[in-house]
């Protein structure tokens, strides 16, 4: 399977043809859905020594936001695909945090391979008009979708894995 088959949104990203469709939805439900997805991916890859944990650092018991649910789901799935590929043991953390402004921060943390700084730089130097895919096409696609939603992908990598995070404006609030 080629990267074009894995990531059909790439051609739309390159041609700048993606339109956001915002709606109000519950983040907690999306996180539960992604937990099940990730557990299935780990089972499919025979990674039984890897766990998944959802972390909710919110001021709200149940949090809802106004954003493009499908686009956000795609971003998080791509980051989770990367985490599953690179983690052989330990845990993958998926979480979100509401901040005092009208923003919400999402993150995926893995205990996988270290990504050297020069490789991180190479991933972020790619542009829509000069796409060079290497081992991490899911990071390029995630970055472009995050930018479309008004955010920026941040990566911190160490000897014990990587943390991928981003935030965007969405007016988080509690479900009543």
Residues 36-49 pLDDT 10s: 999 999 999 999 99
Among residues 120, 118, 42, the alpha carbon closest in space to that of 85 is found at: 42
173 vs 1, residue with greater confidence: 173
Residue 70, domain member (yes or no): yes
77 vs 11, residue with greater confidence: 77
pLDDT higher than threshold 80 for residue 11: no
Residue 17, domain member (yes or no): no
CB 109 within 8 A of CB 162: yes
Residue 16, domain member (yes or no): no
CA-based end-to-end distance of the chain: 45
Task: Please report the pLDDT score of residue 121 as a whole number.
Answer: 66
Residue 87, domain member (yes or no): yes
**Confidence band of 76 (pLDDT split at 50, 70, 90):** very high
When pLDDT is averaged across residues 87-114 and rounded to a whole number, the result is 87
Residue 15, domain member (yes or no): no
Task: Please report the pLDDT score of residue 90 as a whole number.
Answer: 92
Residue 168's CATH number:
3.30.565.10
- Identify the helix (H) or strand (E) that includes residue 161: strand 161-169
How many domains does the chain divide into?
Answer: 1
When pLDDT is averaged across residues 158-163 and rounded to a whole number, the result is 84
- Cα–Cα separations (whole angstroms), residue 22 to 25, 72, 98, 108, 168: 9, 10, 18, 22, 13
Residue 84, domain member (yes or no): yes
Full domain range(s) for residue 95: 24-174
Residue 10, domain member (yes or no): no
Task: Please report the pLDDT score of residue 146 as a whole number.
Answer: 92
- Cα–Cα separations (whole angstroms), residue 71 to 30, 78, 86, 134, 171: 12, 11, 23, 23, 17
Return the half-sphere exposure (C-beta side, CA atoms, 13 A cut-off) of residue 46.
0
Residue 63, domain member (yes or no): yes
Task: Write out pLDDT tens, residues 113-143.
Answer: 777 777 766 665 555 544 444 566 788 788 8
Most confident range (mean pLDDT) of 2-6, 49-53, 167-171 is 49-53
The structure tokens 């539960």 sit at 32
């Amino acid at each position: 399977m080629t990267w074009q088959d894995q990531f059909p949104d790439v051609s739309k990203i390159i041609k700048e043809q993606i339109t956001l469709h915002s709606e109000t939805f519950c983040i907690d439900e999306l996180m539960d859905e992604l937990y099940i997805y990730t557990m299935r991916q780990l089972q499919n890859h025979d990674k039984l020594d890897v766990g998944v944990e959802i972390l909710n650092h919110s001021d709200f018991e149940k949090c809802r936001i106004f954003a493009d649910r499908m686009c956000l789901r795609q971003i998080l799935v791509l980051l989770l695909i990367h985490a599953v590929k690179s983690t052989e043991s330990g845990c993958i953390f998926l979480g979100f945090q509401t901040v005092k402004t009208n923003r919400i921060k999402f993150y995926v943390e893995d205990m996988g391979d270290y990504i050297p700084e020069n490789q991180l730089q190479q991933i972020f130097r790619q542009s829509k008009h000069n796409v060079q895919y290497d081992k991490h096409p899911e990071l390029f696609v995630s970055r472009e979708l995050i930018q479309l939603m008004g955010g920026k992908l941040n990566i911190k990598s160490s000897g014990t894995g990587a943390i991928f995070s981003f935030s965007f404006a969405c007016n988080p609030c509690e479900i009543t």
